[in-house]
Amino acid sequence: MELVITDTADQAGVLAGGIIAADVRAGARAIGLATGSSPLGAYRELIRRHRDEDLSFAGVQAFLLDEYIDLPAGHPQSYARFIRDEFTSHIDIDDAAVHSPDGNAADLPAAAAAYEAAIAAAGPVAVQILGIGANGHIGFNEPGSSLRSRTRVKTLTPRTRADNARFFDTPDDVPTHVLTQGLGTISDAGHLVMIATGPSKAAAVAAAVEGPVSAFCPASILQMHPHVTVITDESAAAALTQGDYYRFAHANKPHWQGY
Ligand code: F6R
């Protein structure tokens, strides 16, 4: 696992965008997208590189981590709509190549299995973008999630619903259930790039990176993956005990070594 601490959240986004762009240029055929605030800077950077540097997503399949259950189709806070508005409508990727779990399916377990099958058919996902919840979730794998879980229905914790209430008119409008890739599904991706910014993420980042591997901090599963890049700003790195070492390692990164 490589940990990179940037001075600002904007720098974290630019760095993450550059890393993902390098994976796409290296031939990634499938990429994994997160929603929420954390990846927005990376998406801005990827859109800029598409516009200014001929970065192309033609032929790439994109898979979202998760989707709310029972939000009306086209709801502005559905993750399918969010990713189109914030990212994929600004690059050269077909809408049909952007996939998300069907949170309106009549048979949700069947929709979960179909999503796993779609990822397997197009995958493996070469690079997966991740945010982290203040309680250590990735995707919507809340604390207690099996470390080998696959796509399935999860119940959001009150904390996550409160954290996401900023996107909805009232806190009660936040759905209670989601379809989310499992920790096993996420772990199948070739490269995991996690972005965490702001002081509210500091405890979760420290638990994920330096704490024990535990279902009670789902992001700690990153410690079991062979290729992980964690990018934080200074405030999200504040609770790390080895911050000086991570800064030293990055400052002395061999010039031939990518991310
Ligand atoms: C969303 C997702 C979640 C978020 C996490 C952080 O697709 O997978 O794990 O990444 O809840 O959300 P933000 O970035 O809004 O703080």
pLDDT of res. 123: 87
pLDDT in tens, 4-26: 999 999 999 999 999 999 999 99
CATH assignment at residue 9 = 3.40.50.1360
Residue 254 CA to ligand 1 center (angstroms) comes to 32
Residue 171 lies in a domain: yes
Atom 12 of ligand 1: nearest residue by CA position: 36
Residue 146 structure tokens: 């099996």
Residue 146 lies in a domain: yes
Residue 79 lies in a domain: yes
User: In the predicted model, is pLDDT for residue 202 greater than 90?
Assistant: yes
pLDDT of res. 77: 93
Helix-then-strand count for the chain, H and E: 8, 10
Once rounded to an integer, what is the mean pLDDT over residues 157-166?
95
Query: How many domains is the chain built from?
Result: 1
Q: What is the extent of the structural domain holding 156?
A: 2-237
DSSP per residue, 130-173? E---TTS-BTTB-TT--TT--SEEEEPPHHHHHHHGGGSSSGGG
Cβ proximity of 123 and 188 under 8 Å:
yes
Residue 120 lies in a domain: yes
The finding on whether 37 has its CB within 6 A of some atom of ligand 1 is yes
Residue 172 structure tokens: 């009660």
pLDDT of res. 73: 72
The finding on whether 138 has its CB within 6 A of some atom of ligand 1 is yes
Residue 32 lies in a domain: yes
Residue 246 lies in a domain: no
CA angle 211, 16, 121 (to 5 degrees): 85
Dihedral (CA of 166, 171, 172, 174) sign: positive
pLDDT of res. 200: 97
Once rounded to an integer, what is the mean pLDDT over residues 219-238?
98
pLDDT in tens, 89-107: 999 999 999 999 999 999 9
pLDDT in tens, 189-201: 999 999 999 999 9
| Catalytic (active-site) positions | 66, 135, 137, 142
The finding on whether 65 has its CB within 6 A of some atom of ligand 1 is yes
Residue 249 lies in a domain: no
pLDDT, averaged across the chain: 97
Q: Which of 51, 60, 63 is nearest to 23 (CA)?
A: 60
pLDDT in tens, 62-84: 999 999 999 987 899 999 999 99
Considering the chain, what percentage of its residues have pLDDT values greater than 90?
A: 98
Residue 166 lies in a domain: yes
Cβ proximity of 68 and 178 under 8 Å:
yes
